[in-house]
Copies of this chain bind each other. A is one copy, B any other.
Amino acid sequence: MEKNVMETVKALKGRSLMEPFDFSVDELEALFCLGDDIIDNPQKYAHICDNKILATLFYEPSTRTRLSFETAMCRLGGKVIGFADPKASSVSKGETIGDTARIISGYADIIAMRHFVEGAPKAAAMASSVPVINAGDGGHQHPTQTLADLMTIHRLKGSFDNLTIGMCGDLKYGRTVHSLLKAMSRYNNVKFVFIAPDELKMPQDLIDELGESISWTETKSMEEAMPQLDVLYMTRVQQERFDDKEQYERLKDSYILDKAKMALAKEDMMVLHPLPRVNEIEFDVDEDPRALYFDQAIYGMYVRMALIVALLGLTPGELTWEKTRRLPLAIHPEAKEVACTNPKCVTNNDRAVKALARPTEDGHWACEYCDTVMK
């Protein structure tokens, strides 16, 4: 790796990852270069975590994400402790998230937390003595999914600039597409094509928020969009999202990717999907070399390896015996105590977490834990 990349990686030591935008464009670039180096030279990294422990604290089952993290740590030579399910766990019995995080950070070197409460990983990170990775907090953030998406594009396209990205399916509620849109908006000359029925269109607020930084068109027709795309990001159109079941029945097949639609696409288009897939991509598309959603899961594992190495500040061939201390989290300098209105926010679900909000540009307050804007 180049020297400036290595220095950028080193500067991530002790950081936590709460949302995809915690890292600058340069930091992400360095992380993906580290990921490339791990892919290309697995031996160099196979023992880098020999004396390190990852704790996977999953208060909500998410087998794919958990196994991706655990594999990542194992392939770095590290070990894993944790729990997979709140019911198999007694940690939550009357104990605050902060106390649990503080105890576990006494055992482990790094924590990946999945929680059904929004902002819970941030509350954990504030109490933990070691870096914390948000492995999904309710409907709020799932930053390592976005890193997996970006790593796949970076690895296979070489760059993020000048791409046309189609996003298809449920663009209204899909957390992954919102994060990916924001993340990709930071690169040059990226064009977006939003492919969705009226019921599931990309929210106007989000488009407004990104403003000039994105160039986009929208369509209801996959067929129309296909020929332009460099990347097609598929998500599922779920029946539950429709009030009108007949409307769902009429529309559902339009957003299923099949061989016929693939025939309209460029030869080097990438099909991505966060998985699990239900029926939104037909099984016979899997054999198409452009179907890269299973590779995407593998790149997700590699970017988690890169993330662990970076947050722990490790260097190949050099074992450190000191624990990597967590750096302070970025809290807005003008943040103050303002009650959050989101009932799923950790401030409303954990007696030790005090409400804390930052001023927004348009004069409101936004929760520092779950980002809900109080209006």
Contact = CB atoms under 8 A, between A and B. Distances in A.
A53 interface: yes
Interface in A53-80: 53, 55, 61-64, 67-68, 70-71, 74-75, 79
Given A42-B51, A276-B99, A81 B90 contact: no
A294 B63 contact: no
A297 B71 contact: no
Contacts of A62: 90
Contact of A63 (B64, B91, B277, B295): B91
Nearest to A79: B74
B91 A64 contact: yes
Interface stretch (A104-112, A153-161, A254-262, A365-373): A104-112
A276 B94 CA distance: 8
Nearest to A73: B79
A27 interface: no
A100 B275 CA distance: 10
A67 B42 contact: no
A294 B277 CA distance: 43
Interface string A287-322: 000000011011001000000000000000000010
A81 B89 contact: no
Nearest to A98: B283
B103 A275 contact: yes
Nearest to A42: B321
A106 B63 contact: no
Interface string A189-211: 00000000000000000000000
Which of A84, A88, A91 has the most C-beta atoms of chain B within 10 angstroms of its own C-beta?
A: A88
Which of A75, A79, A82, A275 has the most C-beta atoms of chain B within 10 angstroms of its own C-beta?
A: A79
A276 B84 CA distance: 20
A70 B294 CA distance: 26
A46 interface: yes
A76 to B, nearest CB: 10
Nearest to A301: B107
A7 interface: no
B276 A68 contact: no
Given A51-B46, A276-B95, A82 B67 contact: yes
Contact of A88 (B42, B75, B81, B88): B88
Nearest to A62: B90
Nearest to A105: B294
A46 to B, nearest CB: 5
A103 B64 contact: yes
Nearest to A277: B99
A251 interface: no
Given A53-B74, A63-B91, A106-B294, 7 more contacts: A43-B321, A53-B71, A63-B90, A67-B82, A93-B276, A99-B277, A107-B298
6 contacts: A61-B89, A63-B83, A64-B90, A67-B81, A84-B89, A103-B275
What 9 A-B pairs come out closest when comparing CB atoms? A95-B276, A74-B79, A85-B88, A71-B107, A106-B298, A63-B91, A61-B90, A94-B278, A63-B89
